[in-house]
């Protein structure tokens, strides 16, 4: 059987091991709280965790960068990023208390001092972040509305501060009407060489674009 992270050759062995540990915890947690569709748990190390870990080929935050993972669900991509980027701080938000509590439990089990899960809406917070991430949480214009007042301008990584979003399908017409387009993207079907990821991309939008919604 092919290793789930074989398409990510730059992934360090210690991080791959920690991601596999996360997979075991996530599968167990999913029996108690519905974090993922049940049919996805059999291949979750590849279809979910490796899928999210592809962000490491696209985005490299600086030390001290603050990342908000909005609508984290089962900690995807938040926990994956906390493992990939030990020098960044990742705060994960979910509106469902049971999910946030389960993610916080996994964070503690994995001993990730740079991560925190919150049962909260990011728009209700007063602190600011360099980047906001999400994985098919909702339509992008709505997501921009949630995060735009909590994003800093500047550049705390290889990409400008802003939104980094896992998206399937085409951009919403509202973005096109305002001439808002990603300034960087990673095609995940091409990256993995897997037609099951057809149409799925990681997109980056700088804060300046997010504020135009």
pLDDT tens-digit map of 39-90: 667 789 999 999 999 999 999 999 999 999 999 999 999 999 999 999 999 9
Rounded (5°) CA angle 37-39-42: 115
Mean pLDDT of the residues in the chain = 94
Cα separation of 112 and 186, whole Å?
A: 27
What pLDDT does 61 receive?
98
**Taking phi first (over 0 means left), then psi (-120 to 50 degrees means alpha), and beta for anything else, what does residue 88 get?**
beta
Q: CATH class for domain 13-210?
A: alpha beta
Mean pLDDT of 4-27: 95
- In this structure, the strands spanning 115-119 and 89-94 are parallel
Sign of the CA dihedral running 33, 38, 42, 45: negative
**What's the pTM value of the predicted model, to 2 decimals?**
0.95
Residue among 62, 57, 58, 122 at smallest CA distance from 93: 122
For the chain, give every domain's residue range. Answer: 13-210
pLDDT tens-digit map of 84-135: 999 999 999 999 999 999 999 999 999 999 999 999 999 999 999 999 999 9
Q: What is the DSSP letter of 8?
A: -
């Amino acid at each position: 059987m092919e290793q789930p992270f074989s398409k990510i050759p730059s992934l360090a062995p210690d991080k791959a091991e920690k991601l596999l540990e996360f997979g075991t915890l996530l599968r167990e947690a999913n029996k108690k709280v519905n974090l993922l569709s049940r049919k996805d748990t059999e291949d979750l190390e590849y279809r979910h965790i490796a899928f999210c870990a592809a962000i490491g080929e696209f985005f490299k935050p600086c030390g001290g960068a603050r990342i908000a993972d909005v609508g984290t669900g089962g900690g995807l991509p938040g926990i994956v990023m906390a493992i990939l980027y030990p020098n960044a701080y990742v705060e994960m938000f979910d509106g469902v208390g049971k999910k946030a509590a389960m993610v916080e439990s996994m964070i503690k089990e994995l001993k990730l001092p740079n991560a925190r899960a919150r049962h909260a809406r990011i728009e209700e917070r007063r602190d600011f972040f360099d980047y906001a991430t999400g994985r098919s949480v909702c339509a992008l214009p709505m997501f921009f509305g949630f995060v735009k007042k909590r994003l800093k301008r500047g550049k705390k990584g290889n990409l400008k501060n802003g939104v980094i979003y896992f998206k399937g399908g085409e951009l919403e017409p509202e973005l096109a009407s305002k001439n808002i387009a990603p300034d960087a993207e990673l095609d995940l079907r091409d990256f993995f060489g897997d037609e099951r990821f057809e149409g799925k991309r990681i997109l980056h939008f700088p804060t300046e674009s997010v504020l135009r919604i």
